[in-house]
Structure 1
Amino acid sequence: MQKVGILGGGQLGRMLIQAGIDFDLDISVLDPDPNAPCKLFANRFEVGKLTDFDTVYQFGQTVDVLTIEIESVNVDALEKLHQEGKKVFPQPQVIRTIQDKRLQKQFYQTHQIPSPEFVLIDNKGQLADHADFLPAFQKLGKDGYDGRGVQKLTSPNDFEHGFDKPSLLEKLVDIDKEISVIVARNESGGMRTFPVVELVFHPAHNLVDYLLAPAQITPEQAAQAEALAQEVMLKLDMVGLLAIELFLTKEGKILVNEVAPRPHNSGHHTIKANGTSQYEQLWRAILNLPLGDTSAQSLAAMVNVLGASGHTGNAHYEGVNDTLGVKGAYLHLYGKKLTKPSRKMGHVTILDQTLQGLEEKIDLIKRSIKVVSK
C-alpha cells in the first residue's frame, strides 16, 4: 500500500481521499484545523501549521508521495524533501511560482503567455504613481483566495482603501466570459485536458456562483483555451493537476487570469459528469498511472453552496429535501462545522440533456438550499 500525504485538510482533500479509496492508498493529512473536513476520512490526520518548516518537513518524511490541496505551504521544506529524493507533486518550484501572484504574472510575461497587463506595487503609497493605469484590479501577491485579496480600483479616490502589502495592479480588460480548463500531466509526459467550463461569478462575493459545462463558446475558442492550458503546463514543467482560469475578451482573445496547481472549484462537476473526475485524475498523474478519459458524459452545471449572509456559527442546512428532489441534482456537503457569510460549504452538481433544463434547475437549486447558523 503506497503512503501518500496531503498538505491541507479542506473539502478538496476530502474529495481527493474519496477518490483515493479506490486505489487502496494509505493517506495522511496535515491541517491546522483539528476539525478539518478530512479528519474522519484520512488514515492518519495530523494537526499542524502548513507554513512551518519543521512541521511540513517531518510530515513529508512519513510518506512516499506528497501533494497539496492549498498553495499556502512551506515551500522550503518541500524543496528539502524533494532534494532528498521524496516525490513532491506539484514540484516545489511550481508551487513557489504560483503561490505568489507577482511571480506568477512575471512567469507569464517571461514565457510570452497571453495575460492582462500588470505593474508591481510594493506598498499602498506606490498606487499614486500608477493613476494612469486605472481602471485596474489590485491583487495581493500572497494569501488571497475566494475573492479575498482582490479589489477594483477605478480612480485615485480608491487608493486610500488599497492594500498596503506587496501586490500587483492588473489592467481591467473587457471580458465577454470567464472560462476555466483543467489539465493533468504525469511523470511519463502523458497529458489530458478536461472540456472548457464557463464560470458565472457572484456579483457581490467575487467568487464562482455556478458554472456551465461545457462553456458556451465556439469549438475554435475551446480548442484555443485547451491548447493554452497545455502550454502553461508544459512551460511550468509540472506534474499533477493544474486549473487555468481564463478571460475571453469581447475582441475574442483568450488571456490567462490565474492558475491553481491542485483540484479546483471549476472541476467539482467532473465527479458526476465526466469519465474521470479531477480527483481521480490527480492520483493518476502523481502516481504516474495512465491518465483517465476526461470526456463529458452529459451537459452539467455546478452550483456553489455558500454560507448565508448574516449567519455565523454552527452550520444548519435548509432545503436539502427540495434539492435532492430535483432530477439529476447531486448534493456534496463538505463537513464544515461552522458557517459564515459566503464560505464554501458544499456544492450541487446538476446533469441535464439541454442547456435550458440546466438553467431552470440552477435557478431552482439556488432558491432551494441555504446554509444558516443555529
Structure 2
Amino acid sequence: MCIQQHKLTKVQHYFSSNFRLGVLGGGQLGRMLLAETQKLDIYTVILDASEDAPCARICNEFHQGDLLDFDTVYNFGKNVDLLTIEIENVNIEALDKLESEGIPVYPKPSNLRIIQNKAQQKKFYQQYNIPTADFMHYAYLEELKHSYQNSIIDFPFVWKSARFGYDGNGVKVVKDYSDLENLPEGECIAEQLVPFKNELAVIVARNKKGQVKTYPVVEMEFHPEANQVEYVICPARIDDTVAKKAREVALKVADAFDFVGLLAVEMFQTQDDQILVNEVAPRTHNSGHYSIEASYTNQFEQHVRSILDLPLGDTASKVAGIMVNLVGAEGHTGPVLYENIEEIMSIDGVTPHLYGKKITKPFRKMGHVTIVHENVDKARAIAQQVKETVKVISK
C-alpha cells in the first residue's frame, strides 16, 4: 500500500499543482497541445517570438522572445519544471546547460542537435544501418556545383538545405544547372531522387521508462508546387506487410535515438516495396492531426504522456481519418477570411480546426479539417470535396 501511494503521489504532482510545463514555440502545434494540458489541469508556460502567436492568449503564461537566443531560452527554462518543444529550431546550447543543471528536457538536446541538421540526420541513419536514400554532403553550394562540374554527381537530385527547412522550404528537385542558380549558399545535401509509390509516416511515442507505441501508418499526398502535405490518410492504403515494415523501421529510428517524446518518421515506399527514411520531426506533427478525432489517444495527449513518463495511451484508430490542410490561397496576403466553412460543417464527420492566425499568406498553414468515416475511400472523397469548397483568402 505504501508503494502504491508513493506511485500515485509521483504521478499526481503534475495535475492541479504547482508543476510548470515549459514549451518552446507557441504555434498551432502548441495550441492543440494546450487543449490536452487544460484537460489535465497542467500549468503550461509558452515562449514564442511573436506576440500574436496562436498560443499567446490561451496558455497559462506567455513569454515573448527569440527561440534561437541563448539567454532567452536559458532564462525561460530555469523557471519551469520540465521543458519541451513544438518546433525544433531552438537554441541547443541553452538546452544543454539547462539539462546539465537538472531541468528535464524532452526531446533530449542531443537528439535535437542531430535532427536540426539534415546532413547529420542522414549520417546518423547510415551509422545505425537505417535505410535511407543515398546522398552527398556539401559545406556550401559552390562545392556542390564543383561536384557536378567534375562529374561526381548528375541530375536530377533533391537539394536540401541542411538547416532551417520547414513546410516545404529548403527542399528543391534540381533537374538542371539553372536550378542551382538561385539556391542559398549555405550547407546542404544532394540526395538521390527516389522513385516511390507512396510517402508514408509513422508516429512513435516513447517515454523515459522505454515504453513505446506506434500509431498506424499514414499515407501523405503533397501539393506539387508548395511541397506541403495536402492530405493525410489513415490507415495508409498499402499492404499489411509494407505497413509492418514501416512500423519496424520507425521503431528502429526511435530506439537508435533513445528518444523520449513523440517522433514522426517520414518515409518513402519504393517501387519494390522497400522502406527508406526521409526525415524525422521530434514533436507532434502534421501527419498526426487526424488522431484528434479518429484515435483513442490523440498525438497531443500522447506527447504529454510520453514526456511526463506516464502510461502511454491506445494508438489505435476508432475510425478511418483523413486530414486536409487549410493553407493560404495564392495571391492573398492580409487579414484572413475563411470562405464556405459553414458548408463543410453540414457534412457528417467533418471537423474544422482553425489555428488562430489573423494574417494569411500564400501556402501558410492556417488550419486543417478532419474527416472521419468507416470507409477510408469514402472519407477521401469527402476530403476532396472539403478541399474544393473551403478557400482561405484575405479580406
Scaled by the length of structure 2, the TM-score of the pair is 0.93
After the TM superposition, list the runs of 4 or more consecutive aligned residues in structure 1 that deviate by more than 4 angstroms: none
Distance in 1 (CA, whole Å) between partners of 2:292 and 2:376 is 19
Distance in 2 (CA, whole Å) between partners of 1:223 and 1:26 is 38
- Return 198-207 or 151-160, whichever deviates more: 151-160
How big is the shift at 1:41?
1.3
How big is the shift at 1:323?
1.3
* Superposition map of 1:335-350 within 5 A: 335-350=356-371
The equivalent residue for 1:274 is: 295
The equivalent residue for 1:5 is: 22
Question: Are 1:321 and 2:342 matched, yes or no?
Answer: yes
Code of the aligned partner of 1:151: K
Question: Are 1:154 and 2:171 matched, yes or no?
Answer: no
How big is the shift at 1:114?
0.4
- Return 126-135 or 347-356, whichever deviates more: 126-135
The equivalent residue for 1:286 is: 307
Distance in 2 (CA, whole Å) between partners of 1:224 and 1:356 is 23
C-alpha contact (below 8 Å) 1:133/1:171 kept by paired residues = no
Question: Are 1:56 and 2:56 matched, yes or no?
Answer: no
The equivalent residue for 2:323 is: 302
Distance in 2 (CA, whole Å) between partners of 1:254 and 1:117 is 13
How big is the shift at 1:125?
1.3
Code of the aligned partner of 1:24: D
How big is the shift at 1:238?
1.0
How big is the shift at 1:269?
0.5
How big is the shift at 1:40?
1.3
The equivalent residue for 1:77 is: 94
C-alpha contact (below 8 Å) 2:234/2:376 kept by paired residues = no
- Return 121-130 or 236-245, whichever deviates more: 121-130
The equivalent residue for 1:355 is: 376
Percent identity, aligned pairs only, is 46
The equivalent residue for 2:283 is: 262
The equivalent residue for 1:92 is: 109
**Secondary structure of residue in 2 paired with 1:27:** strand
How big is the shift at 1:133?
3.6
Deviation sequence 1:114-139 (CA, Å, 0-9, x none) = 00000011222122333334211110
Equivalent of residue 138 in structure 1, options 159, 180, 205: 159
Distance in 1 (CA, whole Å) between partners of 2:195 and 2:314 is 34
Question: Are 1:102 and 2:119 matched, yes or no?
Answer: yes
How big is the shift at 1:207?
0.6
Code of the aligned partner of 1:257: N
Scaled by the length of structure 1, the TM-score of the pair is 0.98
Deviation sequence 1:25-57 (CA, Å, 0-9, x none) = 010000000000001111000000000001000
How big is the shift at 1:161?
2.8
C-alpha contact (below 8 Å) 1:134/1:171 kept by paired residues = no
Structure 2's unaligned 5+ residue stretches are 1-16
Code of the aligned partner of 1:169: A
Code of the aligned partner of 1:104: Q
Question: Are 1:216 and 2:237 matched, yes or no?
Answer: yes
Distance in 1 (CA, whole Å) between partners of 2:357 and 2:271 is 39
Code of the aligned partner of 1:225: A
Distance in 2 (CA, whole Å) between partners of 1:157 and 1:60 is 45
Structure 1's unaligned 5+ residue stretches are none
Structure with greater Cα Rg: 2
Distance in 2 (CA, whole Å) between partners of 1:76 and 1:122 is 22
Deviation sequence 1:207-246 (CA, Å, 0-9, x none) = 1011110001111111111111111001001100000000
Distance in 1 (CA, whole Å) between partners of 2:339 and 2:179 is 39
C-alpha contact (below 8 Å) 2:141/2:188 kept by paired residues = no
**Secondary structure of residue in 2 paired with 1:127:** helix
Distance in 2 (CA, whole Å) between partners of 1:340 and 1:318 is 15
**Secondary structure of residue in 2 paired with 1:40:** coil
C-alpha contact (below 8 Å) 1:8/1:50 kept by paired residues = yes
**Secondary structure of residue in 2 paired with 1:87:** coil
Distance in 2 (CA, whole Å) between partners of 1:56 and 1:146 is 24
Distance in 2 (CA, whole Å) between partners of 1:327 and 1:13 is 27
The equivalent residue for 1:176 is: 197
- Return 349-358 or 52-61, whichever deviates more: 349-358
The equivalent residue for 1:37 is: 54
The equivalent residue for 1:19 is: 36
**Secondary structure of residue in 1 paired with 2:230:** strand
Distance in 2 (CA, whole Å) between partners of 1:45 and 1:114 is 41
C-alpha contact (below 8 Å) 2:235/2:376 kept by paired residues = no
Code of the aligned partner of 2:240: P
Equivalent pairs, count: 374
**Secondary structure of residue in 1 paired with 2:199:** strand
CA RMSD of aligned residues (A): 0.9
Code of the aligned partner of 2:53: A
How big is the shift at 1:194?
0.3
Deviation sequence 1:69-89 (CA, Å, 0-9, x none) = 001100000010001111100
How big is the shift at 1:286?
0.6
How big is the shift at 1:23?
1.6
